[in-house]
Structure 1
Amino acid sequence: MFAPSQLEVRKFFCETYRKQRESLPLTPMEVIAADWIVEHPEYHDDLADPAAALAAVYTVEDGRTNPFLHLSMHLTLIEQHKIDQPRGVRQALDLLAARRQSLHEAHHEAMECLGEMIWTSQRSGLPPDGHAYLDCLRRKATR
């Protein structure tokens, strides 16, 4: 399993953004990341300054979304969908995207479920509960 550090994640997104702006070749993962970067122009200033990005601290009290966490969650959802892991996530995400008529909006709703699963796992010390995650996605997709 690939488990990059916080700094590696931030460098990856900043470098992807730089390469995209300079029309340089991108790796397959960078192509996917670049697509989501385009969807989030509000993060471009953060990504354009690697030194500031590496030093930035994002807290709930600041009222700002962590752009690196947000973009990473998009990549997570893409990968989960691609390999259908946890099993059933592809169908749930497809239904949610169809209901919202937007993959982007579906991702944002799915991030709530993903974040809840991770938060619960961290608080309980137990592995992430894929069944609860899928239940959350299915609830969102059917309302």
Structure 2
Amino acid sequence: MFNPSRDQARQFIINAWHKRRQATPATPLETLAADLIDLHPEYHALLEADDALTNEWTPEHGETNPFLHLSLHLAIEEQLAINQPTGITALFNQLLACHGDRHEALHVVLDCLGETLWRAQRDAQPLDSNAYLDCLRRAAG
């Protein structure tokens, strides 16, 4: 199982963005990451900064960690590609129909995934797929 360190995950995203900017060959996963970065122009300068690997972004300071945000996007794309947890693709399609914008619908999923991950960490429990899907059902309501 692939379990990158924080720095490895960050370096992957930085490298994917660098390859996009330099128009050099990339793996399919790097291409997907760069496509997601393209959707977030507010992160472009952050990913190009010298301190990108070491900078900290904390909610206490009203900041969104761009690496966490983009990593959640990548996780969601993988979940949608394999419909795991089962039913996520249909729920995403409902959200897409409601919002009419793929990126906006992805952010709804991202909010549910983030909440579910937070609860799992807080409670020292595995991720609750049913709670995740319930959150998506309520959002698609």
TM bucket normalised to smaller? over 0.9
The equivalent of 1:28 in structure 2 is 28
Partner of 2:2: 2
In structure 2, the residue matched to 1:76 is: 75
Residue equivalent to 2:12? 12
Aligned counterpart, 2:60: 61
* 1:92 maps to 2:95: no
Residue 114 of structure 2 is matched in structure 1 by 115
Aligned length: 141
Q: In the alignment, what sits opposite 1:45? A: 45
Q: Counterparts of 1:63 and 1:116 in 2: how far apart (Å)?
A: 17
- What amino acid does structure 2 have at the position aligned with 1:107? L
Distance 1:61 1:124 in 2: 20
Distance in 1 (alpha carbons) for counterparts of 2:77 and 2:94: 15
Q: Distance in 2 between matches of 1:61 and 1:120?
A: 18
1 CA distance for matches of 2:78 and 2:110?
A: 13
Provide the C-alpha distance between the structure 1 equivalents of 2:3 and 2:99, rounded to a whole number of angstroms. Answer: 31
| Root-mean-square deviation (Å) | 1.0
Runs of 4+ in 1 over 3 A off after TM superposition: none
Report Cα offsets for 1:54-97 as digits up to 9, x if no partner: 11011112212110011111111100011111111111111111
User: Deviation per CA, 1:111-132, whole angstroms, max 9, x where unpaired?
Assistant: 1110111111111111111001
Say which SS state the counterpart of residue 53 (structure 2) adopts.
Answer: helix
* Separation of aligned partners in 1, 2:57 and 2:75: 20
Partner Cα separation in structure 2 for residue 7 and residue 93 of structure 1: 30
Structure 2 gap ranges (5+): none
Distance 2:124 2:98 in 1: 34
1:118 and 1:25 mapped to 2: Cα distance? Answer: 33
State, as a whole percentage, how many aligned pairs show the same letter.
Answer: 48
Q: TM-score, normalised to structure 1's length?
A: 0.94
The amino acid of 2:23's aligned partner reads S
Q: Aligned partners of 1:14 and 1:46: how far apart in 2? A: 10
Name the aligned partner's letter for residue 72 of structure 2: M
Match of 2:123 in 1: 124
Q: State TM-score, norm by structure 2.
A: 0.96
- Classify the secondary structure of the residue corresponding to 2:52: helix
